[in-house]
A and B are shown apart, each in its own frame.
Chain A
Amino acid sequence: MATSMEHEIERYLLGDPLEASKVIASEINKSNAKFISFIESLEASLTNTDNVTRGRATHMIGDVVEMLPPSFLSQEQGDMVTKFLLAKLKDHHSVQPHALQSLAVLTSRCSPLGDETAKDICLTIFREVQNQTLSHADRGATYRVLQNLLGASTQALSDLGGDFVIGFIQQMDAEKDPRNLLICFNCAQFICSNFSLGPFTEEMFEILGCYFPVDFVPPPNNPHGITKEELVIALRKCFGATPQFAEYSIPLLLEKMTSDLQSARLDSFFTLAECAPVYGMNGLTRFLGSINSTAKREVLMNISSALVEAANNAVTEVYKAVVSPTTQTNKSISDVSENIVELYQDVGKFLEGTDLKKSCLAFSLCRAVASSSTFAMGIMLPLVLPSLISCCHKHTQVSEQLAFVKELNRFLSVIYDHKGNTGVLAPLQLLMKSACAVFEQLLKLTSSDLQREAIKGLRLVSTPRITTDEEQVQSLLHLLIIKSLAVQSSDLRSEVLSSLRVILEEEPKLSEQAIKSLIEQTDQDNFLLASDALVYTVVNTKSFTEVNNFFLKTMSENILALAEKSGNLLSCARAMKQLLLQISKTEIFAQVETSTALPLISLSIQASEQWTEESSKTCQALMSCFRDAFSVFGQFMAKSDVTSFWDKMALLFLEGEIQNHDFTENLKNIQPLQSESPWQQTRLVALMEGLVISANIQALVERREQFFETAYVLALQSQDEFTHLSACKCVAAIMNKAPIGSQIQWFLEPIVDKLKRALASENTLPGRLRAVQLWLWLTKAMECRGHSATTILSSHLISLLDDPDLGPEVGRRLSMVVEDMDDIFSAQNHSIITPLYKQRFFSLNLKALVNGYENAVSKEVKQNYLLAVSGIVSRLPLQVTKPHLNQLMPLLMLALKDSKNPNLGAILSTLSVAGASAPQTVTSNMDSLVPQLLDLSIRSGDMKVRIAALECLEQLTGLSSHVLVPHQTKVVRELKQALDDKKRLVRRQAAETRSAWILLQPETKS
């Protein structure tokens, strides 16, 4: 065995170190005792007279140890080898590096070494190694040894005290290699934060400070993966390792803050911001003045926004650190406040607002101080805010006013962060009053941006926990209420309303007052706006009850006096729907069945006695509103609530059962689901529709089948269009949600049979059309859920296109299958929706459609197919149709020729998109497309089509110019006519399109 070990050692020395050390390490790994024999076998080489052999043998110890598992060697073995290696440090200078490398391995692999050994290593290295004379890899070994020891034997090294610190400083001196520096910085930070630096603080800082600011560009491809940021962050941590560095580092940072290099300034501000919490009051206070002036200089120079932000951030951090709550003495606090006042006086002349840019920058600096602490805010704000407020008053130009008001709002958000802290806020009350005066004045101006800022400001100020004066809050609230009724522009209005809501949420007791004054306003002409605003005042159960009752009362009054005033009825119903949506996710919603749902039902039944032929349109609108309200119930009520609500509704609608319900009024018996009933009653089915389309089908248990059958008959037979459509939707929604399995067959088979009979040509045309409509809805419902039965439905539908009577209707409506109907089929409504069902429908039926067109016998039938194809294609996203676009283009071009095609606008917008994403297909059709578009944009009877055609023409200018130039003259000439269109909107688009064609750039010749 010993012979093989010697053999391997020889192999190592002769030049195959890796393999040899692997073999030896695996040998030693089998038994610890063999380590001794390994060292013994090395003896001859270690004492060889040749320096090189001695060096390599020394190195070998390290290589072998590295391949042993961590902590394989015992502490004694480690100490022993260390002692030997330390002796080697004193050997010939060419042996020293090998000893260092081995030591680096040993210190990382054998931990912990004995305390004495650790000390010995340090002292010997400090004494024997002239680090600066070594190569970078060997220097790295020295640092690694120290790093390892710092981690493993912290206490022993700490006992060495100043000797260790100065030793480290000497070793690290003049280090340049970034790889080594990363280790050095790491060690230095550890030493500074854990060891007492004693008299060597300044030396330690010098050795680190000389690297600031880090300026390092990694070599190409960055082989070692070291970035400038890593170094910057490591050095920054060193600076912030101990508060003792404050007196040395702050002057350095201040000096670098005035450097010409922007990156140096940026780094200095960042470093200061990071170190400030460590340095604390003691370190920072005496430099406050200089920090103030350098930050001021940087901010006002306004070189880049990053620098300004960094400077402001540093200022905030510094002032935060000097006013830490633990170390407050009267002396230091007064120093700080003096400095704040000084800073204010320094920038004072900029705060007058003569130079807009400079003023805003100066204000931002003041704000940085104010946001640092409550104390600083208390001093800074009373100084600054008066000038800022006077700036807002003084300026008349919108852009300047806007800048100052935005600044004012930022200050107010600083105050807002201290809401509830009355001690601090009390002295500021007067200032906030004058800020309010500014906002009130701005609200009178026309600029909407200014008004928006003013409203934002009012929201900040009138939070009850900021403005302590209750009367003032109320008057501000009143102002907002008045404003909410006066503002016409919708985005500004929503800003006002949301502000109103935020304030009331903070202080719900104010809502009573707000509701009262809004209800007063409804008596005047602005009922619409007032009812809309009322929705936003609902913040708790009490306010909900109040507003809810008011809405119900108004609606019922309006219904009784239907002839005179119906306008308010609809706006009230819409506001009601909005209100329900708003509270749908709060706990107030639990009581909604008794408070709102049942009253709405009795209201609708009452109304059914009032409707006349004249008010038929109003009836439709109201019922649609209620349907939406009921779908909110279905979506958001708890499942058990839905079940009990459904039971009541089903009983009422199917049996005409009224007595047992909680209705307050005496209502007449009704039969809304009988197709013979008058439309006034049958339209009530919309309420059912709302619930059925939105609720979870599992919650609708009792009488579901009965309802389905009845609705189905109603859909087929009702002569009232609204009722018919509503019933169709009920049927479709149940079809879509019905549990999968045998039940769906049970549903489907008789339905299809019955429908086919209803479609048969011996029936009357209106009846057949109703059947088609129902068939379409069923197809949509089944396609949505991706059911296998759907092909029967859709293929029969397509075959109906050949029918001379029904074909046009089917052609027009077929596209609804691929349309999004989020109000009926959506996840929120608990519908079953298969992903990509539209794509599936398109690809499965495209062939049938195209073939149908080609085989059609008459022009009329061809037209039906064109209608269907154009409708479907223009409603699908282009990604879906793109692969087939070549095939479809001719059909679309033909469809464009039909001036009665309702899809013209949609086809044109599809073509616009196609121009951008499938230019080749469009390019090849340019010769027919351009004249067609010109014709449509000048002669089409529908202005929307004219605009769409013009937009499409404008989109085409994105194609490459060799395609466009042949048409340019013609287009520019012909569009002259469109410029004189009778509609302004068309003229506007025509001017833009024409100018785009005139400005066509010939392809650059370069």
Chain B
Amino acid sequence: MSELDNANPLVFEITKDRQILPEEEDDSVTDKFDRREIFDLIRVINDPEHPLTLEELNVVVESNIKVDDDKNSVYVEFVPTIPHCSMATLIGLSIRVKLLRSLPPRFKVDVKIAPGTHESELAVNKQLADKERVAAALENSHLLELVNQCLSKRATG
């Protein structure tokens, strides 16, 4: 990468670990999937450009996630750091793959760019929504490696 799209991004504070409630430790209670749970899954994804997580760059925020456990749907909006960010598709793909791997198959996952935050919003959204294209992208070993890098645990965690 010769030049970074956004060389000096603003870094945001990360949220504290979720507090474990007593009912979460009670084996008889069923915990529904909620917004924070989805957020916890995707906030640790690494940014392709910087040694920072998507949460630290404010690309994903909890309020931009919608979950309906009963209707089996998850909807995630993300905000690229700058409107012409060339990494938007890769970030979207990473979020999608992470959720595919971490959620039970019953969920329908939608990942979109938040309206009005990217120049080629429509095109990227279309790519991300197209199941076949996502599957094809993951066949590409180079692309898969990039995605896996975003999803791997950071060494200096």
- Chain B residues within an 8 Å CB radius of A489: 16
Residue of B nearest to A489 (CB): B16
* A995 and B102 contact, CB distance less than 8 A: yes
Mask: chain A, 979-994; 1 = CB below 8 Å from B; 0 = not: 1101111011001001
- Chain B residues within an 8 Å CB radius of A977: 104
CA distance A525 to B25 in the complex (A): 26
Interface set, chain B 96-125, CB cutoff 8 A to A: 98, 101-106
B68 at the interface (CB under 8 A from A): no
Mask: chain A, 421-451; 1 = CB below 8 Å from B; 0 = not: 0000000000000000000000000011100
The contact size tier of chain A is 20 to 34
A642 CB, min distance to chain B CBs, angstroms: 40
Contact of B13 among A447, A987, A991 (CB under 8 A): A447
* B31 and A994 contact, CB distance less than 8 A: no
* B152 and A449 contact, CB distance less than 8 A: no
* A985 and B102 contact, CB distance less than 8 A: no
* B148 and A999 contact, CB distance less than 8 A: yes
* A942 and B102 contact, CB distance less than 8 A: no
Mask: chain A, 931-967; 1 = CB below 8 Å from B; 0 = not: 0000000000111000000000000000000000000
Interface set, chain B 63-106, CB cutoff 8 A to A: 98, 101-106
* B101 and A998 contact, CB distance less than 8 A: yes
Known contacts: A985-B24, A994-B101, A999-B152. The answer to whether A980 contacts B106 by CB under 8 A is: yes
Q: Do most interface residues of chain A lie in helix, strand or loop, or is the interface mixed?
A: helix
- Chain B residues within an 8 Å CB radius of A994: 101-102
* B106 and A982 contact, CB distance less than 8 A: no
A976 at the interface (CB under 8 A from B): yes
- Chain B residues within an 8 Å CB radius of A448: 16
**Which of A449, A976, A988, A991 has the most chain B CB atoms closer than 10 A to its own CB?**
A991
- Chain A residues within an 8 Å CB radius of B103: 979, 991
* A449 and B13 contact, CB distance less than 8 A: yes
* A985 and B25 contact, CB distance less than 8 A: yes
* B27 and A399 contact, CB distance less than 8 A: no
* B106 and A398 contact, CB distance less than 8 A: no
B140 at the interface (CB under 8 A from A): no
B151 at the interface (CB under 8 A from A): yes
Ranked nearest first, the 3 interchain pairs of A and B with the lowest CB-CB distance are A980-B104, A991-B102, A984-B31
CA distance A537 to B39 in the complex (A): 41
* A985 and B105 contact, CB distance less than 8 A: no
CA distance A19 to B24 in the complex (A): 89
Interface residues of B (CB under 8 A from A): 10-13, 16, 20, 24-25, 27, 30-31, 33, 37, 40-41, 98, 101-106, 148, 151-152
* A942 and B101 contact, CB distance less than 8 A: no
- Chain B residues within an 8 Å CB radius of A983: 24, 27, 30-31
* B104 and A941 contact, CB distance less than 8 A: no
Contact of B101 among A941, A980, A991 (CB under 8 A): A991
Known contacts: A976-B104, A991-B102, A998-B101. The answer to whether A984 contacts B37 by CB under 8 A is: yes
CA distance A210 to B25 in the complex (A): 73
A397 at the interface (CB under 8 A from B): yes
CA distance A489 to B15 in the complex (A): 13
* B152 and A987 contact, CB distance less than 8 A: no
CA distance A991 to B10 in the complex (A): 29
- Chain A residues within an 8 Å CB radius of B98: 995
* A943 and B106 contact, CB distance less than 8 A: no
Give 20 new A-B contacts, CB below 8 A, not counting A991-B101, A999-B148: A399-B13, A449-B13, A942-B27, A979-B102, A980-B104, A980-B106, A983-B24, A983-B27, A983-B30, A983-B31, A984-B24, A984-B31, A985-B24, A985-B25, A988-B37, A988-B40, A994-B101, A995-B101, A999-B151, A999-B152
* A987 and B37 contact, CB distance less than 8 A: yes
Residue of B nearest to A941 (CB): B27
A1005 CB, min distance to chain B CBs, angstroms: 14
Residue of A nearest to B10 (CB): A397
Residue of B nearest to A986 (CB): B31
CA distance A743 to B115 in the complex (A): 85
CA distance A398 to B106 in the complex (A): 39
CA distance A980 to B105 in the complex (A): 9
Interface set, chain A 381-399, CB cutoff 8 A to B: 397-399
CA distance A979 to B105 in the complex (A): 9
Q: List 6 A-B contacts (CB under 8 A).
A: A448-B16, A983-B31, A984-B37, A991-B41, A991-B103, A999-B152
* B31 and A982 contact, CB distance less than 8 A: yes
* B27 and A398 contact, CB distance less than 8 A: no
- Chain A residues within an 8 Å CB radius of B105: 976
CA distance A489 to B16 in the complex (A): 10
A293 CB, min distance to chain B CBs, angstroms: 28
Residue of B nearest to A983 (CB): B31
A968 CB, min distance to chain B CBs, angstroms: 13
B97 CB, min distance to chain A CBs, angstroms: 9
CA distance A995 to B13 in the complex (A): 26
* A979 and B13 contact, CB distance less than 8 A: no
CA distance A943 to B29 in the complex (A): 11
Known contacts: A397-B10, A399-B13, A991-B41. The answer to whether A979 contacts B24 by CB under 8 A is: no
